[in-house]
Amino acid sequence: MPELSYDKKIEKVLELLHKDCRKSLEEMATMLDIPMTEVADIIDKLEKDGVIIGYGARINWDKAYSQNTVTAYIELRVTPQRNKGFDRIAERIYQFPEVKAINLMSGSYDFGITVEGKNIKEVSLFVSEHLAPMESIVGTATHFVLKRYKYDGVICCKPSKDEREVISL
């Protein structure tokens, strides 16, 4: 196998970790055919450079026992601040622990944010009491997630059964 370029190695390591961050260094080394120490060095660098900012499980909350979580996707329209643009507003919004994700968007609204709460009331109160009153925010539109089909590249309710039948091959 031709030696992978450094960039390619980084890409491959990231792909593997993104798919399954519990994969051992040893297994990644075998899969990519590079030494284990090099995999470790690459991951170290990626962590230091802030490319990898954390490790976590993808959870299908709909199936989590007794766990009640509602997710809302909220469109925010804002007035950018002089000299600070959108960043200053984003910084204020992402401080709230209820806010799980925030992105500056192109198109008809400015920020798209993901908010989680125990129930619809809790999320609604968060929007009306904390988000909407912020002075730079000129409008909000809240959409509650009804059912999650696919999340971060993974299909949530896919049967894991092997459908391949017996064949003489």
Partner 1 sequence: MSIDIQGLINPVVRDIPPSGIRKFFDIAAEMDDAISLGVGEPDFVTPWHIRDEGIYSLEKGMTYYTSNSGLKELRFELSKYMKRRFSLDYDPLTQLLITVGGSEAIDLCIRSVICNGDEVLIPEPSFVCYSPITRLAGGVPVPIVTKAENNFKLTAEELKAAITPKTRVLVLPFPNNPTGAIMNEEDLWEIAEVLRGTNIIVLSDEIYAELTYGDKKHFSIAQIPDMYERTVLVSGFSKAYAMTGWRLGYACGHPDLIKAMTKVHQFAIMSAPTTAQYAAIEALRNGDDDIEMMKNEYDMRRRVIVQGFNDMGLECFEPKGAFYAFPSIKSTGLTSNDFCERCLREKKVAVIPGTAFGQSGEGFIRCSYAYSIDSINEALSRIEAFVKTLK
Binding site for partner 1 (CB under 8 A): 1-2, 27, 30-33, 162, 164, 166-169
Token pair belonging to 32: 């990519």
For partner 1, the closer of residues 22 and 48 by Cβ is: 22
Query: Between residues 83 and 160, which has the closer beta carbon with respect to partner 1?
Result: 160
* Minimum gap (Å) between residue 156 Cβ and partner 1: 17
In angstroms, rounded to a whole number, what is the distance separating the alpha carbons of residues 77 and 33?
Answer: 49
Considering the complex, state which of residue 129 and residue 165 has its C-beta at the smaller distance from partner 1.
165
Q: How far apart are CB 7 and partner 1 at their closest, in Å?
A: 16
- φ and ψ of 81, to 5 deg: -90, 150
Q: Which is nearer to partner 1, 152 or 162 (CB)?
A: 162
Name which of 33 and 91 has its Cβ closer to partner 1. Answer: 33
Distance between CA atoms of residues 8 and 142, nearest Å: 40
DSSP secondary structure of 71-105: EEEEEEEE-PBTTTBTHHHHHHHHTSTTEEEEEE-
Shortest Cβ distance from residue 169 to partner 1 (Å)? Answer: 4
Taking the complex as a whole, the smallest distance from the CB of residue 136 to partner 1 amounts, in Å, to 42
CA angle in degrees (0–180, nearest 5) for 140-126-52: 85
Closest distance of CB 60 from partner 1, Å: 18
Q: Are strands 111-117 and 70-78 parallel, antiparallel or unpaired?
A: antiparallel
